[in-house]
Chain A
């Protein structure tokens, strides 16, 4: 070797500082996850519960700061693998925020259920790494790996109630069906590669706009939709949802009904709108209508609150999918921003609702049926009031996040002349109001028939509830800033050729 400097060709092959900044949130989250794992065997088990939880929480907060730093350096990184743009920043904040609130609301739950905390908080952080990467990846191979990280961590988290058979059932069911669904996604990616010769979303988008669209592309999109549709619990790929949500730990249900879903919706938005997927309207129309209807009808007859919210989660995925059925470029911006707003609003209210459910469930998750909620309005007025606001938001009552979320989605659908789909959505919202109101009626208008103990709200859970409550009301009263941000990032997301059409 005569020279010690790297030749120019090699310098190009080394990631630069900006590359690392654009995945900084992921790096920070992973680092904190590893710290949690390393400390787990070193600290005393009684103490470790709290300590590891705080480190997990600290990791999430540090991840939010890292996201803020990342937002200052938008652009592509690691040879067109990830893109730091407004869109990915939005979903980074959402996912990491959910992880933080879930960690907070888990402190007490883990102690009550006597679950060893170590891997729990690490898995939440690593899961968030996968979900964040899903939102910023522009390469289908990377999206697949990120999707697997997000899925596998949630499979494991679902099985954390080791003493309950239903939790093992939940984990195993989710794992088997989920792997099957991921295989569909992978097959779709392979077919897309076969049709366009690339797995980079931007390159695929260019190829499809300039060249002819082969039949293979339609098959690829359909298969990828099967995989992602499973992850967001959209009908007809929703059958796993009630069983998995019933058995999994309650805070984790709050996590997996919001964060991985938000990430999967982010992938779907990026893939569908950047590629401007041909022939998507029919597919998404049917999936949206089916999810809304099956979810709401299924929820009507549930007596277990966790199952009820699981069906409600299917229905909300249906409302969200309405925003995807728009086609022209003007409508696309309103569709994308409506979908982004909806994921944020749904996360705020659903995380809050599950935080209440997890506190109320008590040891061994004994009290999760509807009749256990009788008289909660009298025995625990604060908890009942909070749950009421979250449920009203899930119905879509004005002044709550759920109202504007539904409003934007419906108006995007009307703008795109999807009158029938909007009608189905409105009818479904009315049906949905019935079962949410039923919980409220049970809490306030029935006498408690049996003694159900409710502990005072501990600090961690209180903060988690407060954050969800503030987010729900903020998005319901002052939605403009979030919506404007979503609209800006939606415009960035659309391919340049579509933007020029305007």
Chain B
């Protein structure tokens, strides 16, 4: 087994575990946090595929911006008081040592490879240039048609969330 396969399986396992946990959690914030794990693990998978740009976008847009929106929505919907469970003690017992250990490991790896040259921009197949070419040339039509999709999604929100008319239906009762 090479490193690539091990990493693929590891990210995949985190992704699936996060998704299952998302379904199992009752508290919305816990669900949102599990979703972040799923998104981050997916970003790792994209990186393994050589799609560096998509991986970065995944982290910035999904794990970043969209998750913040999620959390804000949960906050506005009044999610209730956070419960302290045994899970939080486990997090302290294992989380802090784990974080320290991970940090030390990462620092060690970075120091050891400090002389290595970085991957040149555009060396991988998924660089922004290629994506731009694909998105605005070959896949221009699907890209533009997505605007219709978003438009009807907005209309759906307007229609289904607006207040229903209270007036009773009219016509023939004779």
Contact = CB atoms under 8 A, between A and B. Distances in A.
Interface string B128-157: 000000000111111001101101110110
Interface stretch (B17-25, B72-80, B163-171): B163-171
Given A79-B138, A112-B171, A130-B149, 4 more contacts: A81-B141, A116-B165, A159-B159, A363-B173
Contact of B152 (A81, A149, A454): A149
Given A142-B145, A149-B145, A455-B172, A171 B167 contact: no
Interface in A143-189: 145-146, 148-149, 152-153, 155-156, 159-160, 162-163, 171
Given A156-B160, A163-B165, A362-B172, A122 B155 contact: yes
Nearest to A455: B172
Contacts of A78: 140-141
B46 to A, nearest CB: 13
B155 A156 contact: yes
A141 B144 CA distance: 13
A153 B168 CA distance: 26
A15 B139 CA distance: 12
Contact of A123 (B155, B168, B171): B155
A362 B168 CA distance: 12
A152 B145 contact: no
A119 interface: yes
A171 B148 contact: no
Interface residues of B, dominant DSSP: helix
A156 B141 contact: no
B148 A162 contact: no
A403 B172 CA distance: 37
Given A23-B141, A81-B142, A114-B170, A126 B160 contact: no
Given A112-B170, A113-B169, A152-B152, A146 B164 contact: no
A126 B152 contact: yes
B82 interface: no
A152 B171 CA distance: 31
Contacts of B158: 119
B171 A30 contact: no
Contacts of B151: 126
Interface in B66-87: none
Contacts of B169: 112-114, 163, 363-364
Interface residues of A, number: 47
Contacts of A81: 138-139, 141-142
B155 A119 contact: yes
Nearest to A157: B159
Interface residues of B, number: 28
A109 B128 CA distance: 51
Contacts of A37: 155
Nearest to B144: A78
Interface of B: 137-142, 145-146, 148-149, 151-153, 155-156, 158-160, 164-165, 167-174
A75 interface: no
A320 B158 CA distance: 37
A39 B171 CA distance: 26
27 contacts: A15-B140, A23-B141, A30-B148, A37-B155, A77-B141, A78-B141, A79-B137, A113-B169, A114-B165, A116-B165, A122-B155, A123-B152, A126-B148, A130-B148, A130-B149, A141-B139, A146-B145, A149-B145, A152-B149, A156-B152, A156-B159, A160-B159, A363-B168, A363-B172, A363-B173, A453-B174, A455-B171
Q: Which 6 A-B pairs have the closest CB atoms?
A: A162-B164, A363-B169, A78-B141, A156-B156, A453-B172, A112-B171
Identify the interface centre among B138, B146, B152, B165: most chain A CB within 10 Å of its CB. Answer: B152
Contacts of A77: 141
B149 A149 contact: yes
Contacts of B152: 123, 126-127, 149, 152-153, 156
A145 B156 contact: no
A140 to B, nearest CB: 10
Nearest to A26: B145
Interface in A87-128: 111-116, 119, 122-123, 126-127
A374 interface: no
Given A113-B169, A363-B169, A453-B174, A139 B153 contact: no
Contacts of B148: 30, 126, 129-130, 149
A133 interface: yes
A501 interface: no
A13 interface: yes
A458 to B, nearest CB: 11
B149 A119 contact: no
Contacts of B172: 362-363, 453-455
B141 A162 contact: no
A438 to B, nearest CB: 26
Nearest to B138: A79
Contacts of A23: 141
B80 to A, nearest CB: 24
